[in-house]
């Protein structure tokens, strides 16, 4: 998409960037992806990735992104700066930051690489679950605006359910952009933050929370994501530890055909 074209999908509007000069862009937050405080973190991280993928010195495709949320992103305009820190023969290391009022509000490190055909094996197991078409859409009533942009169909672990104190915080849900949009690296990175905070699964009580750092590893290449099209993907998320004001959660994202597309891990602040 060129700077003269207007994105039509709400997600593409949310992560759209206008280039100011080499390595520097301007964007704006989207009301459609508003969260309880500021924008949905998935679009913030995706916007940082979008800048890297828009850079004229880009080498290869994303392998990983670690997005750090340093401060609440205010509604309105921001600038994104991206630069390669090191370029090797087949890999590249990037720094990207989002700036408002001359202050960094979010930043990321990104690794891109030229993918090569090698031996491969997936030790994680694709769950046996009902198809998305056999499950009802999750209700969006009373939830932040960003949730309206995703069609979520829960197998188990629905938000603010009735937890058993001995039950895990696991959720399994089919997800896709709403309206449907072909999957790519930028939208997949946002989907990896669409898992509700695990504390809301274990305890049906809303407390202040905020993601501090989110890392996503991309296991699929662009061709695999293209083959997934606009179909639902299966997300599996679970926490590992809660305590002393923080918890972490891990997740897997699978294609309907059983390909592991991405894994993700984040640490979240919470307040009683």
Residue 206 has a pLDDT of 86
pLDDT in tens, 99-145: 999 999 999 999 999 999 999 999 999 999 999 999 999 998 889 99
Strand-by-strand arrangement of the 18-21 sheet: 18-21, 24-28, 77-87, 91-100, 103-113, 61-69, 209-218, 260-270, 246-254, 233-243, 171-177, 150-156
**Tokens 């942009």 -> residue:** 149
Residue 94 has a pLDDT of 99
Inter-residue contact 25 to 19 (CB < 8 Å): yes
Q: E strands along the chain, which residues?
A: 18-21, 24-28, 61-69, 77-87, 91-100, 103-113, 150-156, 171-177, 209-218, 233-243, 246-254, 260-270
Inter-residue contact 86 to 125 (CB < 8 Å): no
Residue 20 has a pLDDT of 98
pLDDT in tens, 160-191: 766 666 678 999 999 999 999 999 999 999 99
Task: Examine the pLDDT at 1 and tell me if it is beyond 50.
Answer: no
Residue 5 has a pLDDT of 57
Residue 92 has a pLDDT of 98
Per cent of the chain over pLDDT 90 is: 89
**Token pair in block for residue 171:** 């959720």
Least confident range of 1-5, 43-47, 140-144, 244-248 = 1-5
Could you tell me the pTM of the whole model? 0.95
Across residues 71-82, what is the average pLDDT? 98
Task: Examine the pLDDT at 3 and tell me if it is beyond 90.
Answer: no
Which residues have C-beta within 8 Å of that of residue 104, sequence separation ≥ 6? Answer: 70, 71, 97, 98
Task: Examine the pLDDT at 17 and tell me if it is beyond 50.
Answer: yes
Task: Examine the pLDDT at 14 and tell me if it is beyond 70.
Answer: yes
Query: Rounded to the nearest 5°, which phi and psi values hold at 113?
Result: -160, 160
pLDDT in tens, 32-69: 999 988 999 999 999 999 999 999 999 999 999 999 99
Q: Can you name the CATH fold of 10-115+131-270?
A: Porin (2.40.160)
pLDDT in tens, 190-230: 999 999 999 999 887 889 999 999 999 999 999 999 999 99
User: Which residue, among 42, 15, 67, has the nearest Cα to 190 in the 3D structure?
Assistant: 42
Q: Where are the domains of the chain?
A: 10-115+131-270
Note the maximum CA span of the chain: 55
């Amino acid at each position: 998409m060129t700077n003269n074209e207007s994105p039509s999908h709400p997600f593409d509007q949310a992560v759209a960037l206008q280039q100011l000069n080499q390595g520097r862009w301007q964007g704006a937050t989207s009301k459609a992806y508003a969260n309880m405080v500021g924008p949905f973190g998935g679009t913030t991280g995706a916007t940082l990735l979008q800048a890297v993928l828009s850079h004229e010195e880009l080498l290869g495709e994303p392998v990983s992104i670690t997005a750090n949320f340093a401060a609440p992103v205010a509604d309105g305009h921001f600038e994104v700066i991206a630069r390669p820190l090191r370029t090797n023969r087949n890999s590249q290391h990037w720094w990207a930051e989002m700036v408002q009022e001359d202050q960094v509000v979010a930043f990321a490190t990104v690794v891109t690489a030229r993918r090569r055909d090698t031996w491969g094996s997936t030790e994680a197991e694709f769950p046996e679950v009902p198809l998305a078409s056999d499950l009802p859409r999750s209700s969006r009533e009373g939830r932040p605006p960003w949730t309206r942009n995703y069609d979520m169909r829960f197998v188990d672990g629905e938000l603010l359910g009735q937890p058993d104190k001995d039950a895990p915080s696991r959720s399994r849900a089919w997800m896709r952009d709403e309206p449907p949009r072909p999957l790519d690296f930028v939208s997949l990175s946002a989907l990896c933050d669409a898992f509700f905070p695990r504390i809301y699964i274990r305890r049906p009580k809303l407390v202040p929370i905020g993601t501090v750092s989110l890392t996503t590893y991309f296991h699929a290449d662009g061709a695999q994501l293209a083959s997934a099209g606009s179909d639902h993907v299966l997300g599996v998320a679970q926490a590992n530890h809660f305590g002393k004001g923080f918890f972490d959660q891990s997740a897997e994202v699978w294609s309907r055909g059983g390909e592991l597309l991405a894994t993700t891990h984040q640490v979240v602040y919470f307040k009683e």
